[in-house]
Every structure is written in C-alpha cells, then in structure tokens.
Amino acid sequence: MDFVLKNLRRRLFRSRHATVLLEDELKRLKQTIQSLVIHGESNSLLIVGRRGVGKKSLLSQALQEVKEDPLVRKNLLKVELNGLVHTDDRHALRAMARQLHRESLLSESTESLDGNSIGLPFSQQLQWFLEGLRSGEGASMSLLIVLYEFDLFALHRNQILLYNLFDCCQCTDTPICVIGVTCRLVPIVARLGSDKTRIEPVEFIDSLCALRQDAKINSLSGLCILELLLIATLVKLQDISASQPVNFEVLYSEYAKFCRTQCPSYLYDKPVVFKALDNLIESELVVSGKEALAISAGNNSYRTANSAVIQMPNYKPLFSFVSTETLTECLDAYPNCPVELRFWVHSRTY
C-alpha cells in the first residue's frame, strides 16, 4: 500500500512522471547511449509497447540522465524522425540534415558531369552526409537517431533508409545508434524478414513475437461471433488467394454465402458487418489500405489494377495477421462457438 500511495503522490505533485517498474529497460538504454559516446560503439535497439505505456518518456529520461555527464552532453548529436511525417527516405534524410544544421552537406553530395548536376544514389548520399559530420580534428561526434513510428519506416519501398542505417551501424567510422519506437511489431518482422537480425537484441524480438502470438489468442477470445466469422472468412480467402489481400465486398459476399447455408442467425446487413470489421482493424487483427498491400505477399499487377479504387472504403485491401492454426486454437477453446464455424475452420473446404 505504501508503494501505491508513493506513486500516486508522485503522479499528483510532479509535472513530469518518472518511469516506474522499468528500471532494467532504463538501465539498458543508458548503457547503450553511454557506450555510443564514450566507447564509440554503434548499436541498434527497438522499443516496443502499446500506445501510452511510456516508451517516449522512458527514452527521454534515459537521455536526460546520461547527459548529466559533460562528456556525453558535448559529444552527442540527436536526430528525431517520425514515420507519420517523414513518409519517404529522401524526405527523412533532408530532415536529418536540417536538424543537424548540415543542409550544405546534401547540396554538396552531387557530381557535376558536363555541367549537369547528377544526384548520387541514396546510399552514397547518406554515407557522404555521415562522413561530413566529422570534426576538423578527424574525430567524430556520436549520432543518435530516434525513429518514432518505426513500423511505418519498415513500410517504405525497399526500406533503403533502414538498411543503410543498419549497415552504417556496423561499418561506418561515425558512431551511430538507431533506436526505433513502435507499438506494432508484426509489420516490422513481416517486412524486414531475415534482416531482422540487424536489430539487437534478436532474442528480444523473438520473445516479443511469441508474446504477440499469445496476445492474438487473447484478442480473438474477446471477439463476438460475428467478428470471429469475419476473421475466419478472411483467413479462408487469404488461403485461396495465396495471401493476396481482399476487399470488403469480397469478404461480405463469402461471409453471407456461408451464413445463408450454415449459420443464418448470424447473417447481418452490410453496415453492421462493416462496423464489426472496423473493430477488428482497431484491435490490429486486420489491416487495410496501403499497409495491407505492403505487408501481404501481393504482386505488382494487383496493385496496378486496383490503384484507382483502393481509396473507396468498400474496396480497400484487407489483410489479417491471424493464421489458421491460431484461429483453430481459439475456436476450440471459445465457449458456445457455433459447431458449423468450428467445423468450417478445421476443414479444408471453402
């Protein structure tokens, strides 16, 4: 009780809330930043947690405490990028230059050929930019790059910025630490694939994947029958189309076909079903729009053929992260689950 009262007083009488019960994570962040500045050790970290749990506050507190050391405060440069704002890699690079007051470095990273100015490839521009951060004595200040909404950077085409930053963490003379902050892990793992090993620690990410799998089962257990029917229909459609995203019209058609023959009492009109789909998107069991196209294994022909209509609500691509195995496990434990739905998910018929 004393612990609870102490924390209540702290929250009521302090304008800034200190992080509580995150001592190990705070220590890890401080050690990483100190190693970056003092020993020149490049590194990369990923901070994952639901919105509002204190990810940004944790990072801010770690920076505030390590900057009490004059050596760290003098030799640390910090850049903050946000996936919601910096929607492409070159925009992000320009923002880095602007925050570091080094815009001239980007203007110099062009080659003149026969009087024409030709831009260097992005990777060379980034390398040129980092080389230009060295001081006149040949020493290099340490650079901390914080990527908020990290999952959105993973959705950039080819992830050129991320791959080059991770490569710089391993081979550049400029000490760099990349810290990603996100509330969503699955899109990152799906997009980076085998290259997720570039993010340290690997064990942390793998354990989070396992926790996310358990969280999926818990989320599915809290759904109503209508939402489970939509998830089951979407999973079945993805199996048919080899993980290609589908839209609401196709989803509703298949859902209605099943309900008319097997579960007529669970057949609802489109507005009701659309609202249930919104709930699934909000719970992050389903994604829609461009993110669905990026995460799925869709091909270019699909994107081209549907580029004119994907902005319409009923035709936005949909993709579910739920696997057949996870759905089966959930339905087997779901109380009062319709037998027809359970049999349909277990069967290989469509």
Instruction: Express the helix, strand and coil content of the chain in percent, nearest 5 each.
Output: 60, 15, 30
User: Domain boundaries in the chain?
Assistant: 1-105+121-212, 216-298+308-346
CA dist., res. 32 & res. 169, Å (int): 13
- Asked: is 1-105+121-212 a CATH 1.10.3210.10 domain? The reply is no
pLDDT of residue 106: 67
Question: CA-CA distances (angstroms) from residue 13 to 8, 65, 306?
Answer: 9, 21, 55
At 225, give phi and psi (nearest 5°).
-60, -40
Task: Name the token pair of 18.
Answer: 């200190």
Contact 123, 164 (CB under 8 A): yes
Give yes or no for a cis peptide into 121 (omega within 30° of 0). no
Tell me the HSE value of 272 on the side-chain side, using a 13 A CA sphere. 11
Give the Cα-Cα-Cα angle 117, 118, 124 (nearest 5 degrees): 130
Separation between Cα atoms, residue 314 and residue 251, nearest integer Å = 10
- Kindly give, in sequence order, each residue whose CB lies less than 8 Å from that of residue 211, ignoring residues fewer than 6 positions away: none
CATH, range 216-298+308-346: 1.10.10.10
Backbone angles phi, psi at 329, to 5 degrees: -60, -40
Report pLDDT for 156. Answer: 72
Residue 349, pLDDT score: 63
| Tens digit of each residue's pLDDT, the chain (350 residues) | 666 776 776 666 554 555 666 788 888 999 999 999 998 888 888 888 777 778 888 899 999 999 999 999 998 989 999 988 888 888 888 888 888 887 776 665 554 334 443 456 666 777 777 766 654 444 568 889 999 988 888 777 667 788 778 777 776 567 889 998 888 765 555 555 545 444 445 444 444 444 455 556 667 777 889 999 999 999 888 888 776 678 889 999 999 999 999 989 999 999 999 999 988 888 778 888 777 776 654 434 444 445 555 567 788 888 887 888 888 888 888 888 888 898 888 886 65
